[in-house]
Amino acid sequence: MRNTVAKQEIEQLITTSEVALSPSEVETQLDGLCNRVTVYRVLERLEKEGIIHKFTNVNGVLKYASCHNCSTQNKHHHNHAHFNCVKCGDVTCLENVEPSFNLPKGYKVAEVNFTLSGVCPKCK
């Protein structure tokens, strides 16, 4: 996939957003620049390139946020928590909050999706 205007706009939108965005929120904010299929393809590409990461919020909605410590060589490592505000619905990455847990012998974690819910500082 080449570097298109859609890719550039979606990358900028996600990397400058203070909150995680769903594909439909991305499509809405692009105001007709591209269709839903293109949004999904670009989001998938950006994730593979280590620019963004995806996770599911407490309502089961897929969200995307900017990566801060990932690269294509490093693979994604997002062992941080996400916070889902029950008032405004915003989801933010809590970069310095790492979930801790002990698994029984024989289990190996491949991916962590740790989402907390409550009221964000903006809605307090």
Residue ranges of the annotated binding site for Zn(2+) are 85, 88, 120, 123
Going by the annotation, the residues of the binding site for Fe cation are: 77
Instruction: Determine the straight-line distance between the first and last CA of the chain, rounded to whole angstroms.
Output: 43
- Where is the binding site, in residues? 77, 85, 88, 120, 123
Q: What is the 3-state secondary structure (H, E, C) of 51-97?
A: CEEEEECCCCCEEEEECCCCCCCCCCCCCCEEEEECCCCCEEEECCC
CA 1 to chain CA centroid, nearest Å: 21
* Residue whose tokens read 């309502």: 59
Residue 17 Cα distances to 73, 90, 99, 110, angstroms: 25, 11, 24, 27
